[in-house]
Amino acid sequence: MADRAAIILAAGQGTRMQSKLPKVLHPVGGRAMLDWLIALAEDLGCQRIIVVASPGTPEVQAHVRDTLGDQALVLQETALGTGHAVRCAETALAGFKGDVVVLYGDTPLIPSSVVEALFEQISSTSELGVLGFNAADPGAYGRLVTGSDGMLQAIVEAKEASADELAISFCNSGVMAAKAGLLFELLAAVTNDNVKGEYYLTDTVGLARARGAACCAVNCEETDVLGVNSRVELAQAEAAFQQRRREQAIRDGVTMIAPETVFFSYDTEIQTDTFIEPNVVFGTGVRIASNVRIGAFSHIQQAVISEDCEIGPFARLRPGSVMSAGAKIGNFVEMKNTQLGPGAKANHLAYLGDSEIGAESNIGAGTIFCNYDGFRKHRTIVGAGAFVGSNSSLVAPVRIGDGAMIGSGSVVTQDVEPNALALGRAQQTVKSGWASRFRDAMTAIKTARSKR
């Protein structure tokens, strides 16, 4: 296989996004659109990845440097069209002899399989190829004109197309692959003799055909190359991603009562026989083992859930949450940076923060792990088989020994030894008849006020 490189065009200003955040850094499925393209290039085995950015987007420049290094970033000082943008990467790829694919930082959903098919074509039957799709509404898309042999003859812009050409539904995605040497030779011959005075990447097809080079068009789905230029289109890309991800989860053995209400991130991992109720949201960094049940309206982010666990409904697992096999988190329980041991339970109304909870322990309703002193976070350690009564507050740092019991309503500020009972509440006082006297007095006051 020839060496591969990717040129990702990310110099657009994205003014229609109406956002201070550069367009290509807006997320789809919890990942910046630009990172989708970087990951695609890496999946394709590209040894070189070049991102073409604008001088006016320092955030994009910093992102590329942090992700790929300084050598991956080139700037398009003046916006002179897609052909000019690709040429900006020529110096960075000096001496590269392999195949190059041109990608777009605002087209996040391209499967690696379709670009792989494009690479295969330029390694076998063609010297230059593009990705095309059959558009439901071709509109202003450039049309791909193919011959009887299926080879690409021309890309015709809609404004310049004849009636017969406008009837073509096979449209240009903009994604192109070619041998590096050929691509830059063709781009050197592209002129800006057009209404916009720009250098168009699409002109390379006509130039390649004129010199007898074979060109091809590889078909893909329209949603594969969905471009994002506005927040409306960003929402459409998100919807397309979620639909794909839901279908994949179902094929992988996950049951969802109402899949249209479940939202995934790009890296969500769920094993077979997991059951998901409606209105569940998975943030990034979630790994779920088999036979897990997730109740409705739960939110899970950067958490690891082992087999046979139960979550929710109305549960929140924040970053650093780890549930061991058979553990249970019930309704209105929040976990953060907490390891819940095998078979341990917090069935309802609790906050478990910065803690380790041993196997088979039980955390009662209304329990709070007081982990923050206003300056620092502290840890709470609960041993195996411990029982924490309802409405208790464990003030960290504190350690509850194996088998220990905490009486309901206790405020625990000191370590509790194994198998001990800790009571940290005020002694109860009972005043006989006080409630009746209080009600009588309040009734008399209310009656006197009503007569004024």
Q: How distant is the alpha carbon of residue 67 from its chain centre? A: 16
Find out whether 338 and 315 touch, Cβ atoms under 8 Å: no
Which residues, other chains included, contact 257 with Cβ-Cβ below 8 Å and sequence gap of 6+? 276, 277, 278
Q: Which of 84, 299, 348, 378 is catalytic?
A: 348
Catalytic status, residue 348: yes
Q: How far is CA 383 from CA 273, 337, 402, 408, 445, in A?
A: 31, 17, 4, 18, 54
What DSSP character marks residue 127? S
* Helix H or strand E segment including 353: strand 345-357
Among residues 271, 264, 251, 327, which one has the least CA distance to residue 300? 264
- 321: helix, strand or coil: strand
**How many Å apart are CA 8 and CA 102, to the nearest integer?**
6
Tokens encoding 84: 């000019």
Is residue 190 within 8 Å of 203, Cβ to Cβ? yes
Contact 251, 271 (CB under 8 A): no
Write out the two tokens for 304.
């690891």
Q: What is the number of other CB atoms lying within 10 angstroms of the CB of residue 445?
A: 10
Q: Do the beta carbons of residue 402 and residue 427 sit within 8 Å? A: no
Active-site annotation, residues: 348
